[in-house]
A and B are shown apart, each in its own frame.
Chain A
């Protein structure tokens, strides 16, 4: 698309209109979008076309439309983070990611659905109803960024932004047959990202190919003085790595603990097949062990709720968002209590209460304190593993997409989805998921996860691009060509 735009074969207005039409045609079934900014997107597209007509030098993605996860503040555009407590809120400022998108002339189509405050693995926790997986509308599109992944898989947008706290970019990518990257923590600014768990949250790029993902990565990444945890160093050369796709001589470490029991046979088969292709492409496959990963899930479900119980205290009904029970004589405290009862959904309340408990005096050391120690052990496991391998790999998720409603009443079963993605967030390293084929037993997409050391994000793009090329020549066509046709031609 970018090449056609640059060559003048198509205008950004035409391309944007085609995607808006596609959204109109299929989004009643998919429900990927919470808000479509038709007018804003077309205006932005027209401005890019005008710049191009004047011969201005534009970025590689200029004029290409994008779907933005609703957790990112965009000035004047409704931003809810999937929660009732922010219904109708229009931020008075742009997040840095949005500023960077606009600087690169990327056209923002609208805001995508998500689990409330990014807490969930299925998008069923959205206060505005679930999103449906384009491969099978009765199944989940992953979460929390299910709107972004479904928009890509349904061809409603060629690019999307996600955020990943425990797998919310990579797991949705895996179950929809798309590509998603969680950059190194601090690689992309968190300014204007509505915080869930500040030490784990990371925004990142999503697309249908590894190269598109890299181009978007480069557009949004970089140091930001507005985010004190943003890394002040050059952005890793991800585009160059994705173009070369060279794995010759690279050591790829298979994490012993992230495979085997509990992983669906079709997931394991596709994983083994991908390893063979990478070996054929010239990589050396080695096995590594990360003995403390089995405690990652438990630690995550203490650290993330603890941080969220503090972060979500800002929703106090005083300065913005919902306010309930503000009658004559009502105290501020009773207004807060009633607003938060109505404004927060079940999973958000569950995590706030869990976090409040884990941080309370008498339990702090046993829960939050112990979880922080596990975090150290997991980081050490990664450090040791990266002495033996340049990147680590695993299946992204233990299973393919499950049915909507199947795990809604079993929080622990739901949490298990993220067993292979969470360690990456705990250590702050980079992680990518790309499609590795369909599981034989259910015909649904399977994800392949690549993990790279801090600020060595280019390595996962090298491996991702090499695997994508090998799979493409094996399949003869992109995997998404096999997805059911929706709403007429793609």
Chain B
């Protein structure tokens, strides 16, 4: 029987960068008890001798020749930016105060 506590959900929400209300965390923790039980069924047949599949196609690295091709103009690339300055994306402070 797998389960998650409210604190586990809080930690996961932090890792996933999603702010969550107390109610949301408690509800998710409750739901996860049921959902994890259901998905844990995969362990019944996933024995050591079975190779994992990550992708439906047997692809190896795909290369292309390195030729210059048209790309987005700076205006187009910035067209969806929430904020911009001097032809750059303006973003909130990333590093802490010195």
**Residues from 43 to 92 in B contacting A, C-beta threshold 8 Å:** 43-47, 50-57, 59, 62, 64, 72, 76-77, 79-83, 89, 91-92
B40 within 8 A of A: yes
- How many chain-A residues does the 8 Å CB contact rule pick out? 70
Note all chain A residues with C-beta closer than 8 A to B51: 373, 376
B26 within 8 A of A: no
A260 within 8 A of B: no
Note all chain A residues with C-beta closer than 8 A to B56: 185-186, 199, 379, 426-428, 454
A49 shortest CB reach to chain B, Å: 30
Q: Indicate with 1 or 0, residue by residue over B14-40, a CB within 8 angstroms of chain A CB atoms.
A: 011111100010001001101100111
A211 within 8 A of B: no
Q: Are B18 and A295 in contact (CB under 8 A)?
A: no
Top 8 nearest A-B pairs (CB, nearest first) are: A428-B56, A320-B80, A372-B52, A370-B46, A323-B82, A92-B76, A341-B19, A373-B46
> In the complex, A316 Cα to B82 Cα: how many Å?
11
A329 within 8 A of B: yes
Q: Are B54 and A199 in contact (CB under 8 A)?
A: yes
Note all chain A residues with C-beta closer than 8 A to B96: 331
Note all chain A residues with C-beta closer than 8 A to B35: 301, 354, 411-412
> In the complex, A370 Cα to B80 Cα: how many Å?
39
Q: Are A229 and B79 in contact (CB under 8 A)?
A: no
Q: Indicate with 1 or 0, residue by residue over A290-309, a CB within 8 angstroms of chain B CB atoms.
A: 00100101110110000001
Q: Are A323 and B83 in contact (CB under 8 A)?
A: yes
Q: Are B38 and A412 in contact (CB under 8 A)?
A: yes
Note all chain A residues with C-beta closer than 8 A to B17: 313, 316, 333, 336-337, 340
- For the complex with contacts A323-B83, A341-B20, A374-B45, 18 further pairs of A-B residues with Cβ separation under 8 Å are A90-B80, A92-B72, A93-B76, A295-B45, A320-B82, A321-B82, A326-B92, A337-B18, A337-B19, A341-B19, A353-B9, A354-B35, A357-B8, A370-B46, A371-B39, A372-B52, A373-B45, A428-B56
Partner of B93, one of A199, A332, A372: A332
Note all chain B residues with C-beta closer than 8 A to A367: 39-40, 42
**Residues from 71 to 120 in A contacting B, C-beta threshold 8 Å:** 89-93
Q: Is the interface of B mostly helix, strand, loop or mixed?
A: loop
Which residue of the partner chain B has the closest CB to A89? B80
Q: Are B52 and A353 in contact (CB under 8 A)?
A: no
Q: Are B82 and A326 in contact (CB under 8 A)?
A: yes
> In the complex, A367 Cα to B53 Cα: how many Å?
14
A184 shortest CB reach to chain B, Å: 9
A377 within 8 A of B: yes
Q: Are B42 and A295 in contact (CB under 8 A)?
A: yes
A448 within 8 A of B: no
Chain A residues in the interface with B (C-beta under 8 A):
89-93, 185-186, 199, 225, 228-229, 231, 292, 295, 297-299, 301-302, 309, 313, 316-323, 326, 329-338, 340-341, 344, 349-350, 352-354, 356-358, 360, 366-367, 369-377, 379, 411-412, 426-428, 454
Which residue of the partner chain B has the closest CB to A369? B52
> In the complex, A415 Cα to B62 Cα: how many Å?
35
Which residue of the partner chain B has the closest CB to A297? B38
Q: Are A326 and B93 in contact (CB under 8 A)?
A: no
> In the complex, A104 Cα to B46 Cα: how many Å?
46
Interface pairs (18), CB distance under 8 Å: A199-B54, A199-B56, A292-B45, A298-B39, A320-B82, A326-B92, A332-B91, A340-B19, A344-B18, A353-B9, A353-B16, A356-B12, A371-B39, A372-B54, A373-B42, A377-B45, A426-B56, A428-B56
Q: Are A319 and B80 in contact (CB under 8 A)?
A: yes
Q: Are B92 and A228 in contact (CB under 8 A)?
A: no
Q: Are A335 and B92 in contact (CB under 8 A)?
A: yes
> In the complex, A54 Cα to B12 Cα: how many Å?
61
> In the complex, A68 Cα to B28 Cα: how many Å?
33
Note all chain B residues with C-beta closer than 8 A to A349: 18, 20, 24, 28
Note all chain B residues with C-beta closer than 8 A to A427: 56
> In the complex, A225 Cα to B38 Cα: how many Å?
39
> In the complex, A377 Cα to B34 Cα: how many Å?
25
Note all chain B residues with C-beta closer than 8 A to A321: 80, 82
Which residue of the partner chain A has the closest CB to B48? A373
A334 shortest CB reach to chain B, Å: 8
Note all chain A residues with C-beta closer than 8 A to B50: 373, 376-377
Note all chain B residues with C-beta closer than 8 A to A356: 12, 15-16
Which residue of the partner chain B has the closest CB to A305? B39
Which residue of the partner chain A has the closest CB to B71? A93
B94 within 8 A of A: yes
